[in-house]
Homo-oligomer: A and B are copies of this chain.
């Protein structure tokens, strides 16, 4: 179907919105029209907050999650158990574990997972940073809470091997989390249970 070409600035906006995860061409066009037609203020706000987030957010030097400080509030807190380190794939996963209220240690956020098919190897994930983190601030146990997907398991397997070789106690959260699913979509109770029932291989 040959649609009338959009004016250049509109075309480019639609292309840009189309790169968002889960947003097809048609939805992107509707979003663009909506912003320009009904919500120019909202559009300006999105533009502004994106720039602000890109400029002001950095990665916590200890856990790698998003923060405006050098060290995020969790890593800086003396009320957390600094002897436990839970490794998750994303900041969203960290949020879900916090919401389960079943864990009071620290975190390390991988910001991705080892995914050989997508060309994301251990190098690209910068796992060196995690290893340095564990050497600089020793912990009693590293809990691997990557997702129970193929990539998450690969990542956990790889991390487990390297960390154990350095004499560090490593555990994996229990498979209470349904296999093949992503932490972010699991209820908090299941996550709390999986943390408690974690096993050391």
Contact = CB atoms under 8 A, between A and B. Distances in A.
Contacts of A95: 3-4
Interface of A: 1-4, 6-10, 12-13, 15-17, 19-22, 27, 29-40, 42-57, 66-68, 72, 74, 90-92, 94-95, 98-99, 111-112, 184, 188
10 contacts: A4-B95, A7-B72, A13-B46, A13-B49, A20-B31, A20-B42, A21-B30, A22-B27, A35-B50, A43-B54
The dominant DSSP class at the A interface is helix
Nearest to A111: B37
Contacts of A112: 37-38
A20 B133 CA distance: 39
